[in-house]
Structures are given as C-alpha cells and as structure tokens.
Amino acid sequence: MATRIIIIGGVAGGMSAATRLRRLDETAEIIVFERGRYVSFANCGLPYHVGGVIEERSALLLQTPESLRSRFALDVRTEHDVTAIDRDARTVTARDTRTGETMTETYDHLILAMGGTPRQTTPVGDDAPPVVTLRSVEDVDRVTEVLASLPAMTTARAVVMGAGFIGLEATENLVRRGLAVTLVQRGTHALSPLDPEMASPVADELARHGVDLRIATTVEGLTPTGVTLSDGSDIDAQLVIDARGIDPASHLAASAGLRLGPSGGIAVDEHQRTDDPRIFAVGDAAEKTDAVSAEPTLVTMAGLANRHGRAAADVIAWETGHLDAPPAAASPALGTAIVGLFDLTIALVGWSEQRLAAAGRAHRVIHTHPTDHAGYFPGAERMAMKVMVDPGTGLILGAQIVGGHGVDKRIDVIATAMHARLPAVELAQLELAYAPQYASAKDPLNMVGYIADNLASGVADTIQWHELPRAMDAGATLIDVRSPQEYAAGGIAGSVNVPLDALRDGIDALPPGELIVHCQVGQRGHTAARILTQRGRRVRNLDGGYLTWKAGAHASERVGAPIPA
C-alpha cells in the first residue's frame, strides 16, 4: 500500500518536503493542508509588492494547487485549518474554512510546517487605523486596499511597529509609495541583532529618507486617528504595520502532546524528527541548534525551512525504501541574514558582541572599513565590517557588515567559513577572486584574517570604542596619527595629533604611561602601534579607528547615555 504523508503548511518548508517526497516516491499519497488561500508564495517579496517594486501580484505566486497537482501529483488543500492531530490513530482533522466541512485523514508520516504567529496580539479597534502584519498575500492585499483608499498618499502617515528585517523592508516600501513613516522600536537601535555602533548607519539612512525612528519606544494603543506611543505622544496614522516578529506556531503540536523545546519551538532531532517517530517538524515552528552555543534556538529563515523540509522528506523516503541512505544530520544554524534599506545593505551572521558579552562568552572584536573593490577603480564603496572571534578556539563567532556593494558577498564567505569551522586567521589564506572592479588583491576578508592573526600572536593589541572613556580616565594618552587636515576636520576629544609619518621623530616627546593610537579606520594606527611597541611603549590601537568610534558615539547620543551603560 502506498505511503500516506500529510504535510501541514504549504509554503517554504512544507512545499520543499512535498516536492522532494514526490521526486523520491511516485507512489506516495501526499496531502498538503494550508490555512491560507495560497501555497508556495514568495513571502520574502511581500513588502516589495507593497512598494510597487514587484509590480505584478502574480509574481508572488510561485505555484498553485493546480500546478502542484499536474507536476507533482500533490493533493493541496488551501483554506484548510488543521484543528487536531490524533497520534494514536495517526489522523489529522482539518476544517475547510470556506465550507465549514471537517475531514479526518490518516497518515503514515506527518510533517509540521506551520511557520510562525505574530509574537504579540495585534491591536484592533473599530474606530482606529487598520493594523496589518506582512505575512501573507492576504496581508498585502489588505495593505494595497488601504493605500488605495488614502486620498493623497503624500500626506498620509504609517506607523511601523518593530525595526527588524520586515519592519525595515515595510518602512522602505511605504516611503517609496509616498507615505511618511514613523518606525517604532522597543530596543535601543534598529535591527536588534546588530551592535549599536553597527546600527548607527541604519539610523542615518532612515533619517536621510525622512523616516521618524523612535527607539526605546512601543505602541501603547490605538486612537481614532492613529496610535499612542509609550512616551505619551500621539502619532497620526492611516495605516499601522505590525512587524514585531513571530513566535513558532507550535500550539497544534503542543495540543497533540509533542515536546516543545526551551525556545517554545517544536523540539526535533538532527533529522527534524519530533519525539513522535512518525512526526517531523520544519521551518519557523521547529527549533534549530545554534551554531555558536550548541543550544536550542529559533531562526526564522526561508533557507533553513527549505533545507529542513527536504531533509524530512529524505528521512521518510529512506524509511520507506525510496532512498538508499539516510540524509546527513542537520548543520547547526548560523542565522545568516541580510536586508536592504534604501541604498544600504545590512548583513549579519552568528552572534553580536552584545550577545556574547551578555552570555559571558570570551570574544575578540575586529572592526574594519574596507571598500568593496580596489580604491583605485571608480565606484568603490566603503563598508563597515565587524567580526567576533573566540580567543580560545580562534573560531568566528559572528559578523556584521553594513555598506553597499559587496556586503552580501562577504557575509556569505564568512558564513561559509563558519560552517566549515575555519578559524578566523584562515580568512587570510582564502584565495578570493580579484580584479579591481570586484575586490582588492587583499580582500577585506583577508585583512580581517591578518588582523585576527596579529591579535592572536600578540603583534597587535586593540581597544574597543566603548572602552576608550575608561582608559582615558585611567590616564592613557590618545594619539591621533592621521594627517593634520583629517584631525582638524574632526577628532576625538582629548587626543593629540602626531601624524604617522612624523611618529618616529616624535616619540621622545610623548608623555609616559599607556598610549592609545588611532587613525581613520585602524590601519595606520596599527603601523603606529608597531613603531611605539618596539620602542618599549605600552600601546593599544583603537579598533576600527575614528569611523567606528564616531558610529559608537552617535549611538550613545541617540540613546542619551554612554554605551554600554
């Protein structure tokens, strides 16, 4: 008898599982229940349809139940709400939300791919602006409808709750449609997984496009004309986007007695299997293993959902004799992510400095400001790069990059290096493709490797921007080794200017005690530190130079307090 497989959820993870299963087993019965009206839609494209970047709504609909039936012989049931799982009977009960009809289907294997649900209750009010999430095609239709109803979009305002990935994309696309946007963020900076100095360019970019960013603020409630914020202010708004993140949709699994993990996601083993051997879970509803801590975690990324959907299919196919060997165990999750914000690209992987510090994990930090390609070739764009390194193992713990061209490339190489467990110093050995319009002969990542090597070998010692005030209070002398022109254009209070090329002759005039050197990005500072160290001075180089310090200072100004407090 044919194997009977039920999949709950028909987007990324569920549909990857369904199509892979079919390719491995022509005889299986495969039923996919999807609560929404659409399956396999481009959820990461939703904000861009709001903004008109993706013009055709149909471009979001990658597959239909009909196309999936004809190509993959799948039984796809949209607008079906699964209400119960009976593990003893191995049945699933679903309700057709159009007709109210309920049905019970048996399974040999069950795959849970329900995704997430909004983290907090989205407020609604009869006499209040509409509040919409951006999770489904229906959501986008709703937003489109609201936008169409606005008399003049240039005078309309939207409030976006949450400055995470979706919140930033929503903001950009509403601005693109002509709306004024107030972006309300509970944390102290946009994109919480970033460290504050790395989030500083994000705040600048939002300001440059007229976005009203409110940090350390929440939406307290709706009013007839907009929202009330936690600081007591009222904001007029004709539309509110709720982008405050999601929790794993694990309610159904919990009701069926399946084990949830500490994160609230469905607990699975390295083959996506729950504690019921017949049931698998993938995607945003399922827990991952964190690559940095090896602890259970949640990572809500489409790529992982697809991969784990395929892996679950492979396990089932192996158990039913349609694959000769079981699939490899799932790799731990790095949490690689990227977002575009107007002309900025922001990418990250692994843990932030703040998260490492909070967890008490030892770490070294490296800030650089390389250009995406050779500076002598036109169009080179500067990026800010930050890499965290485990001083014990030398492994890369995380990275953050903010800039324009070439950001996506560097985060992918770092993610690959982390996956392969290459030590940070090995970045220096990578043989990356170089022609002047694409990179530099010493790629930014090679340079990070060299810096990691210098820190590990003791050739270099650095100080972080947020450690500078304490060191100066303790009597350290800060030497700005840039040119007098750069120094005059803006420096750090309390610094003295001794340009690098004059340093050898000026050493005897320097005061005793600890020296801290800095330049614009850290490179001349390194040479200066080497000169001074070899003359017997105790020296640290300000990591990332003036640019990182300034970004940190701006972050502190925005919060209104030194960071870390």
Q: Pick between residue 256 and residue 456 the one whose CB is nearest to its own copies.
A: 456
Buried b (16+ CB within 10 A) or exposed e, 70-86: eebebebbbebbbeebe
Nearest to 353 by CA among 556, 564, 48: 564
DSSP 373: S
Cα 541 from Cα 122, distance rounded (Å)? 48
Q: Pick between residue 129 and residue 335 the one whose CB is nearest to its own copies.
A: 335
Nearest to 335 by CA among 393, 295, 383, 277: 295
| Shortest separation between residue 433's beta carbon and its own copies, angstroms | 4
44 is catalytic: yes
Q: Pick between residue 50 and residue 439 the one whose CB is nearest to its own copies.
A: 439
H runs (alpha helix) in 372-434: 407-419
| Shortest separation between residue 507's beta carbon and its own copies, angstroms | 10
Q: Is 297 helix (H, G, I), strand (E, B) or coil?
A: strand
Cα 439 from Cα 380, distance rounded (Å)? 9
Cα 54 from Cα 469, distance rounded (Å)? 48
| Shortest separation between residue 360's beta carbon and its own copies, angstroms | 25
For residues 272 and 282, the answer to whether their CB atoms sit within 8 Å is: yes
Cα 441 from Cα 236, distance rounded (Å)? 52
Strand partners, 31: 6, 75
Q: Pick between residue 88 and residue 324 the one whose CB is nearest to its own copies.
A: 324
Cα 312 from Cα 270, distance rounded (Å)? 10
Neighbours of 298 (CB within 10 A): 21
| Shortest separation between residue 140's beta carbon and its own copies, angstroms | 13
Cα 77 from Cα 33, distance rounded (Å)? 5
Strands (E), 238-336: 239-242, 246-248, 279-281, 288-289, 296-297
| Shortest separation between residue 44's beta carbon and its own copies, angstroms | 5
Q: Pick between residue 121 and residue 534 the one whose CB is nearest to its own copies.
A: 534
| Shortest separation between residue 457's beta carbon and its own copies, angstroms | 6
For residues 196 and 552, the answer to whether their CB atoms sit within 8 Å is: yes
| Shortest separation between residue 18's beta carbon and its own copies, angstroms | 13
Q: How far is CA 38 from CA 61, 239, 410, in A?
A: 7, 24, 35
Q: Pick between residue 182 and residue 192 the one whose CB is nearest to its own copies.
A: 192
Q: Which amino acid, 182?
A: T
The single residue listed with the structure tokens 């080497």 is 530
Q: Pick between residue 87 and residue 537 the one whose CB is nearest to its own copies.
A: 537
Cα 154 from Cα 148, distance rounded (Å)? 12
Q: Pick between residue 240 and residue 425 the one whose CB is nearest to its own copies.
A: 425
The single residue listed with the structure tokens 């040479």 is 527
Which position among 4, 37, 44, 442 bears the catalytic label? 44
Strand partners, 496: 479
| Shortest separation between residue 415's beta carbon and its own copies, angstroms | 5
Q: Which helix (H) or strand (E) holds 484?
A: helix 484-488
Report, as residue numbers or ranges, the catalytic residues.
44
